[in-house]
Amino acid sequence: MPLSLRVTLGFLVAQALLLAAGVAGDTTLPAYLVVLAAPLLALAVTLWRARVETEPAVRWGWTCVAASLGVWSLGQAGNLWWEWGLGQHALPHRAILMLFQLWAVPLLLLLARPWREREPHTAFGLDVIQALAVSLAWFWLTWGSLAADSPPDAPGLSSQLGLIDAQNLYLGVGMAVCWSAAVSSAERTLFGAMSLHVGLYTLGAALNNHLTTRWPEAVTPAWSSLITLAFLPLVWLAWPGARSLPSPWPLPSRRWEFLVRSVSPMLLSGTLLLLSLRLVRLDYGWGVAGVLLAAGASAWRSTLAQVQHRLKSESLRRQRRKLARIAWTDALTGVPNRHHLKQVMARLQQPERRRHPPRDWTVMMVDVDHFKPLNDQRGHRYGDACLRQVAQALSGTLARPDDVLVRYGGEEFLALFPAASHRDAPGLAERLRSAVEALALPHPASPSGCVTVSVGWASHSEQTGELDMDTLIAQADLALYRAKCEGRNRVVGMA
């Protein structure tokens, strides 16, 4: 039997013994101690779970649960001091009642956070202030008519208990909705355990409060200690390494998950607005302050969301441009590749360009002479270094913005000159050839003793018909073949 289950069952046995002893005598002190021990045990387990949890968002969730249990334990310790220590069973203490109201603050933060998304610290600060304001507004609506340390009047008691039930039910439904939108196993365990815990707590608190109101003599401290049953499933399910709670829902759709995540940050503002509008009747100043806080927080959150959206959009655009540069750039030489050539052609043929298309086109194919013998004799590292220097020299000859040089494959390069006619082509091609020859890179297998290139060019004019880029490249390649056949280190063209 797992240790978590043994601890839970052991606590249940102690609870049963306490109930049995309540029949024979006074068990007021043991009952109070049991009710205090249960949340303290759950607090220790949830802190342990938060420490060992690897998923940051789930670790944050268990920390919120532990904080809530800590506040509730303080309230129960105050009850022990006030009711058993001082014997004030009939007079509620306002500060202790407030602690039992403030236990909801960490749970409201858990429900309101967008979970996996990072948010600015100002947004978290607003959430803390709003969660505190929601709990205080709920406390004021519930106990505002109660004089300090005095019993409530009978007519208002039913309404007060109804508000307590409404708060607990609100938290329980919120946990169940988040459970239905949970994706990871750790997240589903967290919200599943909290749904069960808050659900049992809501039921136990409602039974205890309403039975105490109707038949106070029948509800003994031992029977009131049954509220501890709400904390024991949390101990069992939060125990590190314990078996995950099976979910009654299938994995959520992306649409439902995003819907819940999007609505969650607005939860606090909407709840605070509704409570503040009702609070205006009891205390006009605090009610108006709550309305202004809810409206201001909602506006600020909306502004933050827009700023984050724009920052993310800009970041995505930069990443896309960066990836495009990587995809369109030859890794060895640093000049564009053939994919970039396709993008350039598509851009030049866009509708706004078609109104004033280039009248002439010139394509040049450039091939490094005797490159295979160079690799064989000097090694591939030297050959790669030569290709990089040749590429930079060829790029340096491009003078106009639309001129493009790409590595076409192996030791071949393609140069595209929009708006360059057949009269300009020989000079441009000679500029390419002489730029590489001027590098004077040693080449033992070359007749000239240095690295040279052969250039074949082909031009197209609008008078000759519609442009066919594939045909133009084929003609330039044929001209390059002729240049190599005629002895290399030369320029040959086809108009």
For residues 127 and 300, give the distance between their C-alpha atoms in angstroms, rounded to a whole number: 11
Residue 223 has pLDDT above 60, yes or no: yes
The whole-number pLDDT of residue 441 equals: 94
Q: What share of the chain in percent tops pLDDT 70?
A: 88
The whole-number pLDDT of residue 388 equals: 94
226-237 pLDDT per residue, tens: 788 899 889 989
40-76 pLDDT per residue, tens: 999 999 999 999 998 888 999 999 999 999 999 999 8
Query: CB neighbours of 178 closer than 8 A, spacing ≥ 6?
Result: 111, 191, 260, 264
Give the count of beta carbons closer than 10 Å to the beta carbon of residue 130: 26
Pick 302 or 413 by higher pLDDT.
413
The string of DSSP codes covering 108-130 is: HHHHHS-TTS---HHHHHHHHHH
Burial class (CB in 10 A: 0-12, 13-18, 19+), 322: exposed
The number of CA neighbours under 13 Å toward the Cβ of 261 is 18
The whole-number pLDDT of residue 115 equals: 58
Pick 458 or 148 by higher pLDDT.
458
401-437 pLDDT per residue, tens: 888 999 998 899 999 998 888 888 999 999 999 999 9
Residue 477 has pLDDT above 70, yes or no: yes
The answer to pTM > 0.85 is: no
Give Dmax over CA atoms of the chain in angstroms.
118
The whole-number pLDDT of residue 203 equals: 92
141-181 pLDDT per residue, tens: 887 655 555 555 555 577 778 888 899 999 999 999 999 98
The whole-number pLDDT of residue 112 equals: 86
For residues 168 and 206, give the distance between their C-alpha atoms in angstroms, rounded to a whole number: 9
For residues 122 and 296, give the distance between their C-alpha atoms in angstroms, rounded to a whole number: 13
Three-state secondary-structure class, residue 277:
helix
The whole-number pLDDT of residue 45 equals: 94
DSSP bridge pairs for 459: 362
> 31: closest CA among 75, 74, 76?
76
The whole-number pLDDT of residue 328 equals: 86
Q: Could you tell me the pLDDT band of residue 209, with boundaries at 50, 70 and 90? A: confident
Averaged pLDDT score across all residues of the chain: 85
For residues 344 and 339, give the distance between their C-alpha atoms in angstroms, rounded to a whole number: 9
343-368 pLDDT per residue, tens: 877 776 665 555 555 678 899 999 99
Residue 372 has pLDDT above 80, yes or no: yes
For residues 77 and 356, give the distance between their C-alpha atoms in angstroms, rounded to a whole number: 84
Q: What share of the chain in percent tops pLDDT 90?
A: 40
Pick 95 or 384 by higher pLDDT.
384
For residues 71 and 167, give the distance between their C-alpha atoms in angstroms, rounded to a whole number: 16
82-123 pLDDT per residue, tens: 777 777 665 667 788 888 889 999 999 999 876 556 667 788
For residues 88 and 456, give the distance between their C-alpha atoms in angstroms, rounded to a whole number: 104
Determine contact, residues 72/100, Cβ cutoff 8 Å.
yes
Determine contact, residues 177/262, Cβ cutoff 8 Å.
no
Backbone dihedral angles phi then psi of residue 127, each to the nearest 5 degrees: -65, -40
Strand bridging mode 453-461 / 491-494:
parallel
Q: What is the DSSP letter of 442?
A: B
The whole-number pLDDT of residue 226 equals: 79
277-291 pLDDT per residue, tens: 988 988 889 899 999
The whole-number pLDDT of residue 43 equals: 95
Determine contact, residues 453/390, Cβ cutoff 8 Å.
yes
The whole-number pLDDT of residue 1 equals: 64
Q: Could you tell me the pLDDT band of residue 385, with boundaries at 50, 70 and 90? A: very high
